[in-house]
Chain A
Amino acid sequence: MIEAPPYAVFLFPSVSHVLKAEKILKARGTPHKLIPVPRHISTDCGVCLRVAVEQQGLAAEALQGLVTWERMVLL
């Protein structure tokens, strides 16, 4: 059974960037969660920022220009 991906994850260069993004989304009240980077996405051992797919556009807009991310992937 194939389900629509419920989440989008933003991948950042480092944890400093992830935490800065977290702070921005927290201040905006955008629901989000920090999770370990899923193995199938990257071999990097760090954390990434997960939002609901429907929040993805809003989150990207909030982060734009304030913190750079490397990739956005649908889970």
Chain B
Amino acid sequence: MEPDPGKNQLIYFDNAATSWPKPAGMMGAMGYYNEMIGGSPGRSGHRRSLDAGRIILETREVLAELFGIDDSLRIAFTKNATEALNIALLGILHSGDHVITSSMEHNSVMRPLRFLETQGVQISVVSCSGDGRLSPEDVHAAIRPQTRLLVVTHASNVTGTIQPIAELGHIVRDHGFLFCVDAAQTAGALPIHVDEMAIDLLAFSGHKSLFGPQGTGGLYIREGIERHLRPLMMGGTGSRSEFEVQPDFMPDKYESGTPNTIGLAGLGAGVRFVLTEGVEAIRSKEEGLTERFLKGLASLKGIAVYGPPDAASRTAAVSFNIAGVSPSEAALELDERFGILCRPGLHCAPAAHRTIGTFSQGTIRFGFGYFNKDEEISFALEAIRSLAAGD
């Protein structure tokens, strides 16, 4: 049966912004915390407080397993990838430092960097190809004696283009500076191993492909880096309460204030779902949906598709335009006439749209997820065909 918006059968293609639906276990874990535990972790010694702490530890441990991190306490939780990136960038870079980034970055990287530029940090934005690829040789050529950091997105949220992270990581390691990866689009969707990829700082969203609730994310910090990484916020941590200075150890240095325990309970369930299904299986399903969609688009008239032509070089985020229809009009039609939910415009990434030549209108972005179905892709292709034909 085809999806029917009249019967409230919506098609959710906005997984690149936040995933939906979530696995059944997510709400269960949150409900369990709320009804059975409820305590503040790390603040008291009573059993409910300890149980809350155990939930958070379990979430750290499954994330460490997923990313190949030896010590789960190297992960600090944040409210999203943006906060994690701000901790990394504002904490590491000082006046006189040089930082390299790509022209495909999200504003959660570009805005902190543009702010730092006003504080005397030098920035090199390495241009990517028209389909969003960053060349390791170009990064190599941008290295200076003052280079302190390379920050790049693992995959673009506009075109889905996957960057050669391991290759970049080894270039950085050979030159002795730091490598920060924005894994907002890839954590849970593509394999990530912090040692094999030589990643020093890994920022991730909990609410996208890790299937946690909104308000969750985190930052992995390689051992020793915390000594040079200033925290963004300071305050109560439950530890070292007798001292009025911020703790200098992980994860407390970056986790001031009562955490989002209920959200982290949900994130733990989301990550367990990812581990149970397997990142390879999730990737294979999403790649299949993407390939089906790209093939379908190629057979339609009046459609421009951005990013690499093959599904293997990209995540499940696909940007396209329909000739004669603005992205925002198209998205409205898709929603109102067909019940297809997507995101038009610039996707918080103006630099990426300049790179692919779609600034300032932007594109229509479909972000597929593990729970989407082949029939939904077919239905969407038919909807796009009729919009392109002016039906």
Contacts and interface: CB of A to CB of B under 8 A. Distances in A.
A14 B237 contact: yes
Contacts of B3: none
B264 to A, nearest CB: 12
Contact of A13 (B53, B57, B249): B249
A66 B71 contact: yes
A16 B240 contact: no
Main secondary structure of the interface of A (DSSP, over half): mixed
Interface residues of A, number: 19
B339 interface: no
A36 interface: yes
B68 to A, nearest CB: 16
B45 A13 contact: no
B57 A19 contact: yes
A67 B251 CA distance: 12
Interface residues of B, number: 23
Contact of A17 (B56, B61, B73): B73
Contact of A16 (B45, B241, B242, B251): B251
Interface in A39-69: 43-47, 66-67
Interface of B: 41-42, 45, 50, 53-54, 56-57, 60-61, 71-73, 237-242, 247, 249, 251-252
22 contacts: A13-B247, A13-B249, A14-B237, A14-B240, A14-B247, A14-B252, A15-B50, A16-B42, A16-B53, A16-B57, A16-B60, A16-B251, A19-B57, A20-B57, A20-B73, A23-B54, A23-B57, A34-B50, A44-B242, A45-B241, A46-B42, A66-B71
Interface of A: 13-17, 19-20, 22-23, 34-36, 43-47, 66-67
